[in-house]
Amino acid sequence: MPITETYTRLDVHIRWMIRRDMEQVLQIEKSAFEFPWSEEDFVACLRRRNCIGMVAERGDRVLGFMIYELHKTRLHLLNFAVAADTRRRHVGSQMVEKLIAKLSSQRRTRLSLEVRETNLDAQLFFKQTGFRATSVLRDFYDDSPEDAYLMQYYHRAGEIEFLPVDGANLRMAG
């Protein structure tokens, strides 16, 4: 008989990343990735005019973060992670909801990201939140000869997208 675990949703506050968040962000980064960004990588990225960092916090604890770039017609997600002990508790889904809310039919109409071919958890998570793999990027990473999948989420005018609730996909025409 399979064992199923039920996780309670953790509601979080999503806000701009500030300097004092960096220690917790780096801890999450190092525990989440085989090839983590360094503090210098974060700082260099966030100094660019079109690069934004946000954190998901509960109380004084950072539970997740995302780094994304603003482009003329899209948002490009560069880095995204949730603390291991709070995964599967809707922290990541709330961060994706925040990004989706920034899309519009007039300006930025899609979100894009790359995910490692070996990162099945991320592929499944982003697929569940409405992203689709649109191409394979051969030998994409500098730190390994690994391929990546380009995944994209498209805003649809007149349609309201809902994130899955208890494993069900719901969609309503507007």
Q: Would you tell me the crossing angle of helices 22-32 and 39-46 to the nearest 10 degrees?
A: 120
17: left (phi over 0), alpha (psi -120 to 50) or beta: beta
Mind listing the pLDDT tens digit of every residue in the chain (174 residues)?
455 555 789 999 999 999 999 999 999 999 999 999 999 999 999 999 999 999 999 999 999 999 999 999 999 999 999 999 999 999 999 999 999 999 987 799 999 999 999 999 999 999 999 999 999 999 999 888 999 999 999 997 654 444 444 444 333 333
User: CA 106, CA 171: separation in Å to the nearest integer?
Assistant: 21
- pTM here is 0.84
Domain boundaries, the chain: 13-159
Per CATH, which fold does 13-159 belong to?
Answer: Aminopeptidase (3.40.630)
